[in-house]
Each structure stands twice: as C-alpha cells, then as structure tokens.
Amino acid sequence: MMEISTPTIYKYIDSRFGYGLSEHLYSKRQKKRTQKHKGKREIIKQRVMINLRPKSV
C-alpha cells in the first residue's frame, strides 16, 4: 500500500494540475501566494545618466 503525505496532497492541489480542487477541501483553504524574491541588483558598468545623454536619444 502506498502512503501519501498531507503536504504532498496540498502541493498537488496548489499546482497547475490540481486547479479547482481547493474548492472541494473541507477547510476551504486558500491557495498560497508565492513570494517574489528580489535578487541582488547588478550595477551597470559605464552607465550614463539620463540628463547627461544627448537630446537625440
């Protein structure tokens, strides 16, 4: 007999394959919101500020 953990079931429901299944849950659990991770910003080498650029640009 195969056993599946509760977190695995919720991962499936939250995935694109389990779309619409969360409405059938007893707890009416809301779908988790994913957090956007802000990566480390890179500094552009040899950048020119807007006010120092030619007017034609």
Q: What angle do CA 8, 11, 15 make, to 5 degrees?
A: 140
Q: Note the pLDDT of residue 29.
A: 60
- Note down pLDDT in tens along the chain; length 57 residues: 889 888 888 888 888 888 778 777 776 666 566 667 677 778 888 888 888 888 886
Q: Note the pLDDT of residue 32.
A: 62
| Cα distance between residue 22 and residue 14, in whole Å | 8
Could you tell me which residues come within 8 angstroms of residue 5 by beta carbon, excluding any fewer than 6 positions away? none
pTM comes to 0.41
Q: Note the pLDDT of residue 6.
A: 84
DSSP, residue by residue, 8-54: HHHHHHHSGGGTTGGGGSTT-PPPPPPPPPPPPPPPPTT---GGGS-
Q: Note the pLDDT of residue 14.
A: 81
